[in-house]
Amino acid sequence: MNIRTDLAVESFSADALPAGVHRDIRGKVFDITEIIIDDDSCLDTIGKGRGTYITFEGMSLSCFSDDYDDMVLEFSNELSRLIPDGDVLVAGLGNNDITPDALGPQVVSKVLATRHLREELADEGEAFLTSLRPVSALAGGVLGQTGIETAELIRAVSEQIRPSAIIAVDALACSDISRLGSVIQLTNSGISPGSGVANARRELSERLLGIPVIAVGVPTVVDIRTIVSSLTGQELQNELPDMMVTPRDIDRLTERASQLIAFGINLALQPSLTLNDIKGLF
């Protein structure tokens, strides 16, 4: 069956894992599934290469939760494990004018950019602000808007500012409708922008850029062919139009999911700040 998904948790059977693939389940407010792939043997079959894939499953991210603060903290703690020391570039992938694809730009709009502070405030005695980790934020649009491949743009910026890692945020696709807007995936294997809607561009990965690329995403769309295949076991006829389905409350989902992810990124990058500090800045 033609099952289209960006989620590692949907790419493997819960009953049996192939050799070189390991699973760990944990979590408090989220149900966290960590899948570790030792090599690239699964790359040709399911499109998942060597790396760590952490999936956070819970209630719909479009809804307010009494556990919101704990959700941010749990996500932030898991992200912190993957981030090396040094400067970080946070890149928001996607098109801010198309709501299901706007997660990346909306996250970047809430990321605390601090790279400029040390130079600008060096002579003003602002010890606390100049002690923050240098962070850059970039939302460069999509190829159809700029004429520039996202990977080309990020590589050019990286060569100029030389970060120690890149955090790339993008909307994803899933195969299970129940996971729309209720899952966050975190991986250090990189990402191919647009892969969820079968429009994959040049990948962003440590292999190509020479620095760790940590990808964060939320499934905002599901392919209609995938829905039919997973429910009936049958494929749609090829001549039928291919469509992507998105939640009815996608605007609210994108807004609230982007806030949770951005707050988690800010906490992971700036451990001297509290969640209340972060909330007060946005």
Please write the tens of the pLDDT for every residue from 39-71: 988 887 777 889 999 999 998 898 888 999 999
This prediction has a pTM of 0.91
Q: What is the pLDDT of residue 47?
A: 78
Q: Which one of 3.60.15.10, 3.40.50.1450, 3.40.630.10, 3.40.50.300 gives the CATH number of domain 8-268?
A: 3.40.50.1450
Q: What is the pLDDT of residue 197?
A: 45
Q: What is the pLDDT of residue 3?
A: 65
Q: If we measure between CA atoms, which residue out of 191, 21, 217, 232 comes closest to residue 107? A: 217
Element (H, E) at 223: strand 213-223
Distance CA 225, CA 26 (A): 32
Q: What is the pLDDT of residue 189?
A: 93
Cβ–Cβ < 8 Å for 263, 281: no
Which residues are CB-contacts of 39 (< 8 A; sequence separation ≥ 6)? Answer: 20, 50
Instruction: Please state, rounded to an integer, the average pLDDT across all residues of the chain.
Output: 88
Q: 104-155 pLDDT, tens per residue? A: 999 999 999 999 887 776 666 567 777 899 999 999 888 778 888 888 899 9
Phi, psi of 143 (to 5 degrees): -55, -40
Q: What is the pLDDT of residue 9?
A: 93
Cβ–Cβ < 8 Å for 31, 25: yes
Pick the more confident residue, 94 or 124: 94
Q: What is the pLDDT of residue 123?
A: 62
Domain boundaries, the chain: 8-268
Q: 2-16 pLDDT, tens per residue? A: 567 899 999 887 778
Q: DSSP 3-state assignment of 121?
A: helix
The yes-or-no verdict on residue 232 having pLDDT over 90 is: no
Distance CA 193, CA 187 (A): 14
Distance CA 16, CA 38 (A): 16
Tokens for 246, please give them. 């998105």
What share of the chain in percent tops pLDDT 90? 63
Q: If we measure between CA atoms, which residue out of 229, 226, 141 comes closest to residue 180? A: 226
The yes-or-no verdict on residue 83 having pLDDT over 50 is: yes
The yes-or-no verdict on residue 198 having pLDDT over 70 is: no
Q: What is the pLDDT of residue 256?
A: 95
Cβ neighbourhood burial of 145 (10 Å; 0-12, 13-18, 19+): exposed
Pick the more confident residue, 112 or 224: 112
Pick the more confident residue, 158 or 225: 158
The yes-or-no verdict on residue 1 having pLDDT over 60 is: no
Q: What is the pLDDT of residue 125?
A: 58
